[in-house]
Structure 1
């Protein structure tokens, strides 16, 4: 898969697309609406995704499979630009006003009709055969509850410099080694950007929605719950995603940090009033 082929779609809106690409995407979502009994559900939370969303959609439209599937975008207080892209292209959108990635994924799980739920991200580009590679193993092994893979990274506008290609090679080797280790090590390195889960196993568990406890680590927390319920399987498949945002050690990710938690206004005002004013010299 050539992720750099998606460079023309970085930062674009439906108005910037040529007629061929626009018609392709709108037709794609129209055809998805006609699917009555999806076997696979692709769930994509949307928060701030305007720069990569169209490219992500193009990668979905390039999926090659005979398996009936649905695509559910869960807007989680998304920005106006991202919402406009979804609406203009006719994508299926459901809303979750409770802020946080785990709330969004839980909403998608509840809406999903497929036997297999794939958790995906809107800043990622997926292998054309992603659905087949991630979903078909579940029908071979009835004890399988989770398929997972390792994503690679791209630079800002889907560029891949020599340095990034080398980094991706090291990352793949490193993560595959970590994923072959014991329970504690493996769980820490499973990522929601490329997970496929048996829905009947996942539904009774659901996602942990206390963001103060999980700090955005919905993937690892979910894997912990699934671990004793069946088998895990690593799948070698191409997925390219954006580099993770910088964050302070021990702090939640930006999409679920403390600015979204209930503010203790009275206490904050008291602290300000108690502050000592330094005398002028």
Structure 2
């Protein structure tokens, strides 16, 4: 069912702080108590998250993950990707596995996280998103199906001024429709690191593209195709939620819609051929 309002479970973790200095100690304490209850020392699943200048957003993301309800033991790994703000201070106050990658780029950070992961399965997440409590189960239930090596989920945008939920819902409906078409032959164009999972054994054989540019997630998916199936997790309740920052760069909602339609129109025919891309640095979220 398409949501025309922001989900209510986000409300009490949508912290309105603007900097690390504003975060009260009791907020960290509560999140850590929850993290201690849900994380395992013998994880089957490792959540790998690259963070660059996300000192407050990271708090919101980890707060959502601390409320996971899952049958799979898991750990959270956060990689500070050479942040220039106080992301490291936020990380140091949270009960998660912490790494530092001085080389700029998600590919470098995610590769480090994968190498340090204890789990058999890797879930990629972003440090500026909200994750529903069912996310792990919905993703891993599909990833553990026969011959599946990689999965990706869907995402929605939180409404903000100029971007009401009813308009965003229409955009997401269009986005999901095009994703279904791309999935037939080009699922790697749908595979974003904000909600993606794979088997570590095969991920280590492929590795992340060592680049500062985008597309490392899609290129990993492309490489994994030779080992098994890529599946889409279509469950709407497993959608992750994020602010419309990428949309706001394009201007108004009408400008965003026009831009997205033009992009999809240009590459529509390509969705039906088997030509493999050299890189996915222009991959769109």
Q: Into which bin does the TM-score normalised by the smaller protein fall?
A: 0.7 to 0.9
Q: 1:86-130 deviations in whole A, cap 9, x for unaligned?
A: 112343211111111100011011011111101000100011111
In the TM superposition, residue 55 of structure 1 has moved relative to its aligned partner by: 1.1
Match of 1:27 in 2: 33
Tell me if 1:145 matches 2:149.
yes
Match of 2:191 in 1: 190
State the alpha-carbon separation in 2 of the partners of residues 184 and 218 from structure 1: 19
Per the alignment, in what secondary structure is the counterpart of residue 56 of structure 1? helix
Q: 1:229-266 deviations in whole A, cap 9, x for unaligned?
A: 2112221222111334438x9xx79xxxxxxxxxxxxx
Q: 1:12 to 1:56 in 2, by over 3 A?
A: farther
State the alpha-carbon separation in 2 of the partners of residues 134 and 12 from structure 1: 32
User: Which of 106, 111, 119 lines up with 2:111 in the alignment?
Assistant: 106
Does the 8 Å contact 1:120/1:195 carry over to 2?
Answer: yes
In the TM superposition, residue 216 of structure 1 has moved relative to its aligned partner by: 1.0
In the TM superposition, residue 66 of structure 1 has moved relative to its aligned partner by: 2.6
In the TM superposition, residue 38 of structure 1 has moved relative to its aligned partner by: 0.4
Q: 1:106-158 deviations in whole A, cap 9, x for unaligned?
A: 1011011111101000100011111111112233x231111111211125xxx
State the alpha-carbon separation in 1 of the partners of residues 85 and 91 from structure 2: 10
Structure ID, larger Rg = 1
User: Which of 129, 133, 157 lines up with 2:134 in the alignment?
Assistant: 129
Per the alignment, in what secondary structure is the counterpart of residue 143 of structure 2? helix
| Unpaired segments ≥5 residues, structure 1 | 254-281
Match of 1:265 in 2: none
In the TM superposition, residue 14 of structure 1 has moved relative to its aligned partner by: 7.4
Match of 1:7 in 2: 14
Does the 8 Å contact 1:150/1:175 carry over to 2?
Answer: no
Q: 1:230 to 1:244 in 2, by over 3 A?
A: farther
User: Which of 193, 214, 217 lines up with 1:216 in the alignment?
Assistant: 214
State the alpha-carbon separation in 1 of the partners of residues 31 and 191 from structure 2: 31
In the TM superposition, residue 164 of structure 1 has moved relative to its aligned partner by: 2.9
Coordinate RMSD, CA, aligned = 2.6
In the TM superposition, residue 6 of structure 1 has moved relative to its aligned partner by: 2.9
Match of 1:52 in 2: 57
Per the alignment, in what secondary structure is the counterpart of residue 152 of structure 1? strand
Does the 8 Å contact 2:46/2:76 carry over to 1?
Answer: yes
Q: TM-score, normalised by structure 2?
A: 0.75
